[in-house]
Amino acid sequence: MKSHILLIEDEQDLGQLVSQYLEAFNFSVTWCTDAKSALGQLIMGHADTFDMLVIDVSMPDFSGFELTEKITALGVNVPFLFLTARNEKQDRIHGLKLGADDYIAKPFDIDELVLRIQNIIRRNKNQKENISTNGQQLIKGDIHFNRETLTLSVASQTPVELTSREARLIEYLFRNENRIVKREELLAHVWGEYEVFGGRSVDVFISRLRKYFSASSRVSIENIYGVGFILKVK
């Protein structure tokens, strides 16, 4: 099956070149020339059809950075990379903090772009396959999580009973392994938009999970200062 790419690029010549080259490498490409039309593709329920987003930072309506913030707010979890004519360190850091898998400065080698896209898609598929599902059981490293009984087994320790929010938080982190997850994202997906305590509540629950995971030799939750957290699996 072909991998499906959503390309957001307002430069006609570059957009056409990238689209044609990706199609020559057996990708299926949907090309949008502005951020609003790309957002429309995702809002209309097409998000699950895309394996990756390739996003130009400088757009005629709003920036690629703003677009990814809106995408995150929609709950869309698709890997993405930025294309940009700006190669400043601050922009690269900002893009990576937003969760980008890569950041490529223009002008770029088209073959290198294809290789990077292939690597990101392959890595993302491998991460999803690393979550083995057996009925209601999710397994990550030496941690077993039962979604039906809301119990967590870590290494050889006695299973722990979870609250429903702890369970939702664990599952969300499991499905976003090795990706920086912002506090705002956790609030939107796990707490809901009317959470009163905000980021402090997230920190409390993350601390609980760290205690549960302390017996694990393979799974850990790391802080990304000022941004959020990342679940790492050895």
DSSP the chain: ---EEEEE---HHHHHHHHHHHHHTT-EEEEESSHHHHHHHIIIIIGGG-SEEEEESS-SSS-HHHHHHHHHHTT----EEEEES---HHHHHHHHHTT-SEEEESS--HHHHHHHHHHHHHHHHHHHHHSEEETTEEEETTEEEETTTTEEEETTSPPEE--HHHHHHHHHHHTTTTS-EEHHHHIIIII-TT-SSTHHHHHHHHHHHHHHHTT-SSEEEEEETTTEEEEEE-
Burial class (CB in 10 A: 0-12, 13-18, 19+), 10: middle
State pTM to two decimals.
Answer: 0.59
Last residue of a domain, one of 76, 109, 128: 128
Residue written as token pair 């598929």: 125
The residue that leads in pLDDT, 73 or 68, is 68
User: In this predicted structure, what is the pLDDT of residue 130?
Assistant: 52
Report residue 194's pLDDT band, with 50, 70 and 90 as the boundaries.
Answer: very low
Nearest to 189 by CA among 178, 208, 174: 174
Amino acid at 114: V
For residue 51, give Cα distances in angstroms to 5, 54, 205, 225: 6, 10, 31, 29
Q: What is the pLDDT of residues 122-179, one digit of tens each?
A: 877 765 555 545 557 888 888 999 888 899 999 878 899 998 889 989 988 988 888 8
Asked whether residue 189 falls in the same domain as residue 201, the answer is yes
* Residue where a domain terminates, one of 128, 158, 173: 128
Query: Partners of 220 in the beta sheet?
Result: 232
- Assess whether 99 and 30 both reside in one domain: yes
| Percent of residues, the chain, with pLDDT higher than 70 | 91
90 & 182 share domain? no
Task: Convert the pLDDT of each residue in 19-70 to its tens digit.
Answer: 999 999 999 999 999 999 998 888 775 667 889 999 999 998 999 999 998 8
Angle at 94 between CA 20 and CA 112, to 5 degrees: 30
For strand 143-146 and strand 132-134, is the pairing parallel, antiparallel, or unpaired? unpaired
- Shared-domain flag, residues 143 and 53: no
Please choose, from the candidates 69, 89, 88, the residue with its C-alpha nearest in 3D space to the C-alpha of residue 80.
Answer: 69
Q: Where residue 26 sits, what CATH number does that domain have?
A: 3.40.50.2300
Check whether residue 140 and residue 46 sit in a common domain.
no
Under the banding of pLDDT at 50, 70 and 90, the label for residue 198 is low
**Total domains in the fold of the chain:** 2
Whether residues 98 and 144 fall in one domain: no
Q: Are residues 160 and 123 in the same domain?
A: no
Cα(87)–Cα(85) distance, rounded to whole angstroms? 6
More confident residue, 95 or 210: 210
Q: What's the domain range around 138?
A: 132-233
